[in-house]
Each structure stands twice: as structure tokens, then as C-alpha cells.
């Protein structure tokens, strides 16, 4: 009996885990997109408070991008990643809370700007809902980031911080 392994039975270099590597890179690309969308929300809110329409426009852009990212996260294939389904659920939960917060801020911003920027900001129901859902999103992002770290390390990808997602 020979102990030699046939060449066809030996995986090509880098082939083992290749589906996992592809899936990790896909997830990382979504995280990079999320990071870009997240930037500027605070400034956009500040602009709306100051009755600057560009703030409203930026919140609209952020909300649309977050909606698309949430849809993309729901479509992600993660079956080749360790604990992939749990990781995906964690990301979807975080992005869902972020989208809900963005949508609430958008509702407030529209009403605020279209109403001549009068009335209290912090007392607005949608503004308060945006703050509450932002808190939920931060907590969910922290849980996701902790679960992502080992995957990122294994595939030499960025270990995104919760405030970057």
C-alpha cells in the first residue's frame, strides 16, 4: 500500500477555505460601504438643526445607502464562514437598527425643514426614535464587531470598530 497522495487529491495552494475567503471579502466590502455611509450623519443632523437643506439631502443619501446595505447583508452567503449564519444575523440586526435610526432622522429632518425649522428638535418623536435606534445600533454593532474580529484576522481583513460600521 502506497502512502503517496495523488496530485488530484491535494488542494491547490489557497484553495482550502477559498469559499470562506470570498465570503469574508464580500462581507468586508459591505462593511466598507457601511463605514462610508455612516460618515457625516452627525454633521447632516447639525445642518438640519441650523435649517440647512443640504443636511436633509445628506440624510436622504445616508438612509438610501443604508437601506441598500441592509438588503445586501440579507443576501450575503456566509455558509463557508465559521458561525456564518450567526455573524450574518448580527450584522443584519445592526444594519436594521441603523436604517431605522436613519429613517427616523429623515422623517424628522423633512418635517423640520419643510415646517420652516420651527419647534423643538429634541422633543420631536422621530428625532427621539432616531436617537433610541442609534443606541440599539451601537450595541448591535459592538456585538457584530466582536464576532467579526476572528474572521477578519483569519482572512487578513480589517477588524472594523463598531463606530466605523
**8, part of any domain:** no
Whole-prediction pTM: 0.84
Q: Tell me if 30 is assigned to some domain.
A: yes
Give 113-155 as a DSSP string. HHTTS-S-STT-HHHHHHHHHHHHHHHHHHHHHHHHHHHHHHT
| Number of domain units in the chain | 1
- CATH code, 116: 1.20.120
* CA pair distance 157, 153, nearest whole angstrom: 6
pLDDT, tens digit, for every residue of 14-59? 344 588 899 999 999 999 888 877 778 999 999 999 999 999 999 9
Q: How confident is the model at residue 19, as a pLDDT?
A: 87
Amino acid at each position: 500500500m502506497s502512502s503517496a497522495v495523488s496530485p488530484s487529491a491535494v488542494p491547490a495552494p489557497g484553495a482550502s477555505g477559498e469559499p470562506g475567503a470570498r465570503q469574508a471579502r464580500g462581507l468586508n466590502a459591505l462593511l466598507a460601504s457601511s463605514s462610508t455611509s455612516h460618515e457625516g450623519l452627525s454633521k447632516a443632523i447639525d445642518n438640519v438643526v441650523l435649517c440647512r437643506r443640504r443636511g436633509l439631502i445628506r440624510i436622504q443619501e445616508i438612509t438610501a445607502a443604508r437601506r441598500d446595505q441592509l438588503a445586501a447583508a440579507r443576501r450575503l452567503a456566509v455558509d463557508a464562514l465559521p458561525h456564518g449564519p450567526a455573524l450574518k444575523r448580527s450584522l443584519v440586526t445592526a444594519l436594521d437598527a441603523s436604517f431605522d435610526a436613519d429613517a427616523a432622522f429623515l422623517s424628522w429632518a423633512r418635517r423640520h425643514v419643510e415646517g420652516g425649522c420651527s419647534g423643538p428638535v429634541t422633543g420631536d418623536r422621530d428625532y427621539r426614535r432616531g436617537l433610541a435606534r442609534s443606541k440599539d445600533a451601537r450595541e448591535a454593532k459592538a456585538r457584530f464587531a466582536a464576532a467579526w474580529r476572528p474572521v477578519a484576522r483569519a482572512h487578513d481583513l480589517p477588524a472594523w470598530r463598531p463606530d466605523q460600521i
